[in-house]
Structure 1
Amino acid sequence: MTVSDLLTYCMDKPGAEQSVHSGWKATQIKLDDVLFALVHEVEGRPAVALKSTPALAELLRDSHSDVRPSEHLNKSHWSTVLLDGTLKDSQIYYLVDASWQQALNSKTAH
């Protein structure tokens, strides 16, 4: 998956807004100021940090070497997925959808 494909998919989500986090050299994708994707590079490779349940995050990390705890975010919820790794595009899209849904749920909970 390319960064361009990922950003297009993220920005197609209702309410998605894009900004730059210059300190992390990352592109943030938010839903009403709630982060759901952070696109950046890890060791020179394209990657995205996505939020999930702690159980799913642990399962993904145990099953895929290209999924690891996110460096700058809550490691129990946020995983960094390498885009040029072994995860299929459909799996990455599913994780984007789940992360967006969590942002939506947290927005409606307030």
Structure 2
Amino acid sequence: MEKEIIHAYCIQLHGTTYDYQEEWQADRYHIGGKMYAMLGGNRTGKPVLTLKCEPSRAEELREAYASIIPGYYMNKTHWNSIYMDAEDVPMDLVENLIQHSYELVFNKLTKKAQQEIQLIGNPSNK
């Protein structure tokens, strides 16, 4: 997994905002002010991508892939981390998991916040 590919995929998701958390040395991706993805490192500096995940799916993924672990520095039930040097996790699965994380966070936003995000960038609604 390349950081640039992950960044490009996340930033194209509708309404995504990006920031860099200097203290954590992490790139963060948000929807409606809520984080859905983070590119950072574990305590040894090994790069990880951390994503929100539905709890039962999170456990299934951890059992199926050695490179998917409970969310590093996050709630272990609702977040998974994927080692960026993972060779056992295909890129199409990573993209699917990013989309899943985005949708989980988006669906928890208020209806008003969801509507505002849906209106962003849609010229027919301006």
Shorter-chain TM-score above 0.5: yes
Structure 1: tracts of 5 or more residues without a match: none
CA distance in 1, matches of 2:27, 2:108: 21
What secondary structure, in the 3-state scheme, does the structure 2 residue paired with 1:60 have?
helix
Question: For residue 106 of structure 2, what is the aligned residue in structure 1?
Answer: 104
Query: TM-score, structure 1 length as denominator?
Result: 0.92
What displacement does 1:73 show? Answer: 1.2
Question: For residue 67 of structure 1, what is the aligned residue in structure 2?
Answer: 68
RMSD over aligned Cα atoms: 1.4
After TM superposition, the runs of 4+ consecutive aligned structure 1 residues lying more than 2 A away are: 41-46
Q: Would you tell me which structure has more strand in proportion to its own residues? A: 1
Amino acid paired to 1:4 = E
Q: Deviations over 1:27-57 (max 9, x none)?
A: 1100011110001123443321001111011
CA distance in 1, matches of 2:64, 2:26: 26
The answer on 1:2 being equivalent to 2:6 is no
CA distance in 2, matches of 1:108, 1:36: 16
CA distance in 2, matches of 1:102, 1:83: 22
Query: TM-score, structure 2 length as denominator?
Result: 0.81
Amino acid paired to 1:61 = R
Bigger drift between 93-102 and 70-79 goes to 70-79
What displacement does 1:109 show? Answer: 5.5
Question: For residue 14 of structure 2, what is the aligned residue in structure 1?
Answer: 14
Alignment coverage as a number of residue pairs: 110
Give percent identity, aligned residues only. Answer: 24
Amino acid paired to 2:90 = K
CA distance in 2, matches of 1:14, 1:5: 17
